[in-house]
Amino acid sequence: MNRNNIWIHIGLAVVVITTAAVLGQIRRWQSKPFLNVTVENVQSDNIAPKRTKAPIRSQSDTQPEVMVKFRPGVKLSEIQKIAAKNNDLVEDNIESVKGLVAIDDMDAADMNAVAKQYAAMSEFVEYAEPIAVIKLDDPARELSAKDLKHREPNDNLPNDPQFSDQWALNNLGQDGGKANADIGALKAWQKTHGTSDVVVAVLDTGVDYSHTDLAANMWVRPDSIPQYTDDQLGTFNDLQGYDADANAGDPMDDNGHGTHCSGIIGAEGNNNEGIAGVNWNVEIMPLKFLGKGGFGTTKDAIEAINYAIDRKQKGVNLRVISASWGSTSYSKALEDAIRAAGENGILFVAAAGNATTDNDKRPHYPSNYDLPNVISVASLDRNDALSSFSNYGAKTVHIAAPGREILSTWLGDQYREASGTSMATPQVSGVAALIVASEPNISVEKLRERILKSVDKIDSLSGKVATGGRINAAKALGIDK
């Protein structure tokens, strides 16, 4: 074969190989539904360069990495096409915050890279942020001989056997405490014990709704309220509440933290059982987003708040969300969800944190969100002193409440003492519910104002919390001026 023929054959071989490769690539593109998408009203140069692919995960393993807020005017169908263009999935659309979605990157890329990619689409995206992990940070619980201790009831007090150990409600100086260093519950109860017409949501690890001292005060979805339906997540039989951690309708507590907080708000009073809540009568709605180990995500918290707003809009008289958790990670998406709750008439009471730090200098969220429906709560001991673990902040922590050595309900019909701003927060949530029981039409703005203006001033709290005082339920109800 002469030299000219050799080059002719080589050229033909190159053409054949190149053609086969192009045809093969076209077939691969056609077989990938996530990439075979034309996005209406979206220019290709506004889509950030595709990230290097990692092995594809199945949708059964899906776990969203980022929250993305799209600009007004971008339709959900367009958002889904943008996501598909990048081989991503819209895992959930947060209906209460228009344009906010949870995005699952099907390439298992780094969440910071995914967030950066969407943030670069500035024509369509307001913000994008990685989904943060949240973990309970309460101080380690010290075992107490009073965990299961019963005392004889007093005829002038609720007949709950362990009420005498509830110094936060009635401090007589027991166990080395300071008399009257409490929330003034006895006087408040002269006006109201609460009502089952008021619903308080506990955004936490769920609630042991079968607990003997809680069962009568648990929210149960009325027949008039339809089951919860989310276009992306499905329909849930939310008879007892909602579990955003598992995307399920059963919010049973497998940690204990949410059950403890719930007992502070509304353990049934004067039932000759265990303890009394700030409200003897109330309805507690479990919103579970923290799992057995006390871990959760901002995305799950947002979905639980979105559920609460949906239930409120469907007719549930949900007036307070109690949130005994937090972190130093700022989330604009979580802030938007809490703002939406306020716009729907829901007060959001949040723990200030347990790191003994100044929240004015080192913000703690969600308690630091500067929103008109948020109250941030510090913890006090039985001597009206700021608890050694409690965060504080002259501008960003609003009020203090008893939070050390607080006896309340626990899993399996048990009772335990626990400490933390987690325990102080439901004291305030409980008082908020008493106010609403007395004044059903009070606005969320007036409710917050009433609580913050009804404190007992404490010298040691000056410069530590904005109000300089401890919550007083009686004053909040107009009993003790």
Q: Which of 182, 208, 213, 257 is catalytic?
A: 257
Catalytic residue among 105, 138, 165, 204: 204
Residue 99 · residue 91 · CB < 8 Å: no
Q: Of 400, 370, 369, 361, nearest to 384 (Cα)?
A: 400
Respond yes or no: is residue 204 known to be catalytic: yes
From the list 422, 429, 438, 454, the catalytic residue is: 422
422 is catalytic: yes
Active-site residue, 257 included: yes
Enzyme catalytic residues: 204, 257, 422
